[in-house]
Amino acid sequence: MVEKQSGCNPSSSTLRATCEVDYPYFPFRIPVDYVLVSRTDNLSRQYHRTLFEKAARKEGLIINHEYAGPICFTLISTPFQRLCREAEKLQLSFPLKDCPVNPAAPACCITLSNAFITDDTVDYISAPFTRRHGDLFLNYTNEKLFFTSAQRCELTHE
Protein backbone atom coordinates (compact mmCIF):
# COMPACT_ATOMS: atom_id res chain seq x y z
CA MET A 1 0.00 0.00 0.00
CA VAL A 2 1.30 3.43 -0.96
CA GLU A 3 0.95 6.23 1.55
CA LYS A 4 0.12 9.76 0.53
CA GLN A 5 2.09 12.77 1.65
CA SER A 6 0.50 14.73 4.46
CA GLY A 7 -2.01 17.23 3.18
CA CYS A 8 -2.59 15.35 -0.09
CA ASN A 9 -6.21 15.43 -1.20
CA PRO A 10 -6.75 13.93 -4.69
CA SER A 11 -10.34 15.18 -4.85
CA SER A 12 -9.20 18.77 -4.34
CA SER A 13 -9.32 21.08 -7.35
CA THR A 14 -5.88 22.48 -6.58
CA LEU A 15 -2.74 21.02 -8.09
CA ARG A 16 -0.69 19.18 -5.47
CA ALA A 17 2.27 16.87 -5.44
CA THR A 18 1.57 13.26 -4.67
CA CYS A 19 3.64 10.20 -3.96
CA GLU A 20 1.12 7.76 -5.42
CA VAL A 21 2.75 5.48 -7.93
CA ASP A 22 -0.15 5.49 -10.39
CA TYR A 23 -1.36 9.08 -10.20
CA PRO A 24 -4.07 9.37 -12.87
CA TYR A 25 -3.32 12.92 -13.97
CA PHE A 26 -4.91 12.56 -17.39
CA PRO A 27 -7.61 9.99 -18.01
CA PHE A 28 -5.50 8.35 -20.72
CA ARG A 29 -2.17 8.86 -18.92
CA ILE A 30 -0.79 11.31 -21.46
CA PRO A 31 2.66 12.51 -20.35
CA VAL A 32 3.08 16.23 -19.69
CA ASP A 33 5.96 17.49 -21.82
CA TYR A 34 5.93 21.19 -20.99
CA VAL A 35 4.33 23.39 -18.33
CA LEU A 36 3.60 27.11 -18.61
CA VAL A 37 2.59 29.07 -15.52
CA SER A 38 0.56 32.28 -15.57
CA ARG A 39 -1.67 34.32 -13.29
CA THR A 40 -5.38 34.32 -14.08
CA ASP A 41 -5.79 37.83 -12.72
CA ASN A 42 -3.31 39.27 -15.26
CA LEU A 43 -5.65 40.04 -18.16
CA SER A 44 -3.13 42.15 -20.12
CA ARG A 45 -1.51 39.05 -21.63
CA GLN A 46 -4.63 36.88 -21.90
CA TYR A 47 -5.07 37.69 -25.60
CA HIS A 48 -1.51 36.56 -26.41
CA ARG A 49 -1.95 33.37 -24.36
CA THR A 50 -5.14 32.58 -26.27
CA LEU A 51 -3.38 33.13 -29.61
CA PHE A 52 -0.47 30.93 -28.50
CA GLU A 53 -2.77 28.11 -27.40
CA LYS A 54 -4.77 28.30 -30.63
CA ALA A 55 -1.56 28.07 -32.69
CA ALA A 56 -0.24 25.22 -30.53
CA ARG A 57 -3.47 23.24 -30.97
CA LYS A 58 -3.28 23.87 -34.72
CA GLU A 59 0.20 22.30 -34.64
CA GLY A 60 -1.26 19.19 -32.99
CA LEU A 61 -0.27 19.78 -29.37
CA ILE A 62 -2.63 18.76 -26.57
CA ILE A 63 -3.29 21.54 -24.06
CA ASN A 64 -4.93 21.21 -20.66
CA HIS A 65 -5.25 23.62 -17.75
CA GLU A 66 -5.03 23.21 -13.99
CA TYR A 67 -5.84 26.01 -11.61
CA ALA A 68 -4.49 26.62 -8.13
CA GLY A 69 -6.00 29.83 -6.84
CA PRO A 70 -4.94 32.69 -9.13
CA ILE A 71 -2.27 30.54 -10.82
CA CYS A 72 -2.98 28.72 -14.10
CA PHE A 73 -0.78 25.78 -15.11
CA THR A 74 -0.94 25.18 -18.86
CA LEU A 75 0.04 21.55 -19.42
CA ILE A 76 1.28 20.78 -22.92
CA SER A 77 1.57 17.25 -24.29
CA THR A 78 2.97 16.32 -27.68
CA PRO A 79 1.70 13.27 -29.61
CA PHE A 80 4.30 10.63 -30.48
CA GLN A 81 4.12 11.22 -34.25
CA ARG A 82 4.75 14.94 -33.75
CA LEU A 83 7.78 14.16 -31.56
CA CYS A 84 9.09 11.85 -34.31
CA ARG A 85 8.68 14.58 -36.92
CA GLU A 86 10.63 17.07 -34.78
CA ALA A 87 13.34 14.49 -33.97
CA GLU A 88 13.79 13.83 -37.68
CA LYS A 89 13.94 17.56 -38.44
CA LEU A 90 16.62 18.09 -35.75
CA GLN A 91 18.46 14.92 -36.86
CA LEU A 92 18.61 13.48 -33.35
CA SER A 93 20.53 10.22 -33.09
CA PHE A 94 18.99 7.17 -31.46
CA PRO A 95 20.38 3.68 -30.80
CA LEU A 96 19.75 1.07 -33.46
CA LYS A 97 17.97 -2.13 -32.52
CA ASP A 98 19.98 -5.39 -32.57
CA CYS A 99 23.33 -3.59 -32.89
CA PRO A 100 24.93 -3.85 -29.45
CA VAL A 101 28.62 -3.01 -29.21
CA ASN A 102 30.59 -5.44 -27.06
CA PRO A 103 34.21 -4.28 -27.06
CA ALA A 104 36.70 -7.12 -26.89
CA ALA A 105 39.56 -6.67 -24.45
CA PRO A 106 43.01 -8.04 -25.27
CA ALA A 107 43.95 -11.16 -23.28
CA CYS A 108 46.71 -9.32 -21.44
CA CYS A 109 44.20 -6.79 -20.04
CA ILE A 110 41.68 -9.24 -18.58
CA THR A 111 43.39 -9.49 -15.19
CA LEU A 112 43.95 -5.74 -15.16
CA SER A 113 40.28 -4.98 -15.91
CA ASN A 114 39.20 -7.17 -12.99
CA ALA A 115 40.92 -4.72 -10.61
CA PHE A 116 38.76 -1.78 -11.78
CA ILE A 117 35.06 -1.07 -11.65
CA THR A 118 33.79 -0.92 -15.20
CA ASP A 119 30.56 0.19 -16.81
CA ASP A 120 28.64 -2.97 -17.64
CA THR A 121 25.89 -1.32 -19.68
CA VAL A 122 25.70 -2.33 -23.29
CA ASP A 123 26.47 0.44 -25.76
CA TYR A 124 24.66 0.70 -29.08
CA ILE A 125 25.43 2.10 -32.47
CA SER A 126 23.38 5.26 -33.04
CA ALA A 127 22.11 6.82 -36.24
CA PRO A 128 20.12 9.95 -37.13
CA PHE A 129 16.41 9.26 -36.75
CA THR A 130 14.12 8.92 -39.75
CA ARG A 131 10.43 8.06 -39.51
CA ARG A 132 10.63 5.95 -42.66
CA HIS A 133 13.08 3.57 -40.91
CA GLY A 134 11.64 3.92 -37.41
CA ASP A 135 11.35 0.16 -36.89
CA LEU A 136 15.17 -0.10 -36.97
CA PHE A 137 15.52 1.94 -33.77
CA LEU A 138 15.53 0.57 -30.23
CA ASN A 139 12.16 0.93 -28.40
CA TYR A 140 10.47 2.63 -31.38
CA THR A 141 7.37 0.49 -30.92
CA ASN A 142 7.06 1.58 -27.27
CA GLU A 143 6.01 5.24 -27.30
CA LYS A 144 6.67 5.65 -23.57
CA LEU A 145 10.29 4.45 -23.73
CA PHE A 146 11.52 5.79 -27.08
CA PHE A 147 11.96 9.42 -26.00
CA THR A 148 13.36 10.42 -22.62
CA SER A 149 11.50 13.11 -20.70
CA ALA A 150 14.31 15.57 -21.50
CA GLN A 151 14.02 14.81 -25.22
CA ARG A 152 10.22 15.17 -25.07
CA CYS A 153 10.60 18.56 -23.39
CA GLU A 154 13.17 19.77 -25.92
CA LEU A 155 11.15 18.57 -28.92
CA THR A 156 7.98 20.15 -27.54
CA HIS A 157 9.84 23.43 -27.05
CA GLU A 158 10.98 23.36 -30.68
Tens-digit pLDDT profile for residues 85-94: 999 899 888 8
The answer for 60, left when phi > 0, alpha when psi is -120 to 50, beta otherwise, is: left
Q: Is the confidence at residue 51, as pLDDT, over 90? A: yes
Positive or negative: CA dihedral 13, 150, 92, 124: negative
Q: Is the confidence at residue 151, as pLDDT, over 70? A: yes
What does DSSP assign to residue 14?
Answer: S
Note the pLDDT of residue 115.
Answer: 65
Q: Helix or strand or coil: residue 124? A: strand
For residue range 62-82, list pLDDT tens digits in order.
999 888 888 999 999 999 899
Q: Is the confidence at residue 4, as pLDDT, over 80? A: no
With residue 112 as reference, give the H or E element that holds it. helix 110-113
Burial, 83: exposed, middle or buried (Cβ in 10 Å; 0-12, 13-18, 19+)?
A: buried
Note the pLDDT of residue 21.
Answer: 40
Give the strand pairing for 71-77 and 123-128.
unpaired
- Asked whether the beta carbons of 9 and 51 are under 8 A apart, the reply is no
